[in-house]
């Protein structure tokens, strides 16, 4: 099982579409397709809600579009969850929680270089889901170990299903909360966070990696035992370019980088051209080359994607679709320029 490079295209999963077919068509237009997450279509399609399915203690209010946690409910439902621990279907995403996922599973994608799935990661989930005292469940020493184990089982079940469709399937763990991981938050030390994430990755089948749009501790993140990292270099490229040493170590271990370069927000998208985006990428690569990273090797371990997801454009899905198309054009330009195959 391998993740391709050579500037093939993929994208993050959250999309603004309310039309399932149109969203799937857009996702399938890229080299490495994925199943879209469409919170504007249904609150069940929200990435936090999808991750919460069958997690004990969850209170889901569909009318108010609210997700929270009850310690009392967790205690009452915990044994029921343990009773299903050997049932893969229990940990998969049901049709109620994603029509799109099950539509994707019905497709024949065996001829693609790879396909991808995703699930919200435990750090972001634990930061955002709070209990009756407004305390993030990530800070609860009793809940947190179970949270990591539960999410690893969910990721593995989905990974197994996708690998039956395409042997090169891999998983993104969506972790926007990682940029806040090492801030001064009581109840969760830097040391414990690193220990938990290392244990978490040891429970997840390969290939596995992280997608995030923020600016975390890159040296720590690149040091995790993962196979792919998807990031927003449009916003964070200058900082990331200064991390050549950990990037080199990541690449040497077989890691793949997904360069999120095309903005999907309407205003910055309109300001950019293929030439300006190509120049922005090459400035990053020049900086890294001066620090010893071999360009040819880097390119062989690189994919392209939009910079971020976007749900708030005034034109709804139109700019996002333009960004997907621009990623494809940029891929063609770079692959021709650097004589890349694949």
Name 312's Cβ contacts closer than 8 Å, sequence gap at least 6. Answer: 16, 265
Q: What is the pLDDT of residue 271?
A: 96
CB 47 within 8 A of CB 174: yes
What confidence tens digit (pLDDT) does each residue in 92-142 have? Answer: 999 999 999 999 999 999 999 999 999 999 999 999 999 999 999 999 999
What confidence tens digit (pLDDT) does each residue in 179-189 have? Answer: 777 665 556 77
Q: Residue ranges of the domains in the chain?
A: 8-337
Name 266's Cβ contacts closer than 8 Å, sequence gap at least 6. Answer: 313, 314, 315, 319
In which residue ranges of the chain is pLDDT below 70? 1, 182-187, 342
Q: What are phi and psi for residue 70, nearest 5 degrees?
A: -125, 125
Output the CA torsion 283→289→294→295 (10° steps).
20
What is this structure's pTM?
A: 0.95
Name which of 209, 100, 88, 102 is nearest 156 in CA terms.
Answer: 88
β pairing state of 58-61 and 66-69: antiparallel
Q: What is the pLDDT of residue 216?
A: 85
For domain 8-337, is the CATH number 3.40.640.10? Answer: no
Q: Which residue has the tokens 């890159």?
A: 218
CB 264 within 8 A of CB 292: no
């Amino acid at each position: 099982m391998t993740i391709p490079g050579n500037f093939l295209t993929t994208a993050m999963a959250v999309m603004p579409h309310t039309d399932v077919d149109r969203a799937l068509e857009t996702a399938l237009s890229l080299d490495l397709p994925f199943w879209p997450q469409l919170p504007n279509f249904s609150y069940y399609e929200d990435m936090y809600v999808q991750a919460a399915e069958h997690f004990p203690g969850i209170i889901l209010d569909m009318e108010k579009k609210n997700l929270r946690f009850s310690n009392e409910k967790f205690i009452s439902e915990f044994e029921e969850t343990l009773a299903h621990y050997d049932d893969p279907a229990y940990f998969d995403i049901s049709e109620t929680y994603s029509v799109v996922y099950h539509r994707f599973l019905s497709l024949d994608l065996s001829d693609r270089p790879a396909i991808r799935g995703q699930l919200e990661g435990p750090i972001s989930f634990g930061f955002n889901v709070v209990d009756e005292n407004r305390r993030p469940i990530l800070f609860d020493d009793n809940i947190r170990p179970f949270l990591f184990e539960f999410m690893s089982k969910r990721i593995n079940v989905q990974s197994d299903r996708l690998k039956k469709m395409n042997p090169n399937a891999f998983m993104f763990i969506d972790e926007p909360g990682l940029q806040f991981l090492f801030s001064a938050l009581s109840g969760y030390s830097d040391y414990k966070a690193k220990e938990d994430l290392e244990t978490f990755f040891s429970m997840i089948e390969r290939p596995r990696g992280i997608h995030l749009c923020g600016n975390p501790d890159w040296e720590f993140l690149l040091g995790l035992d993962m196979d792919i990292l998807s990031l927003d270099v449009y916003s964070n490229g200058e900082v990331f370019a200064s991390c050549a040493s950990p990037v080199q170590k990541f690449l040497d271990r077989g890691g793949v980088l997904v360069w999120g370069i095309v903005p999907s927000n309407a205003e910055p998208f309109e300001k950019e051209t293929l030439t300006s985006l190509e120049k922005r990428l090459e400035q990053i690569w020049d900086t890294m080359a001066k620090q010893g990273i071999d360009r040819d090797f880097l390119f062989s371990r690189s994919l392209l994607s939009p910079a971020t997801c976007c749900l708030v454009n005034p034109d709804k899905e139109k700019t996002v679709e333009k960004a997907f198309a621009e990623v494809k054009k940029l891929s063609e330009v770079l692959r021709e320029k650097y004589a890349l195959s694949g």
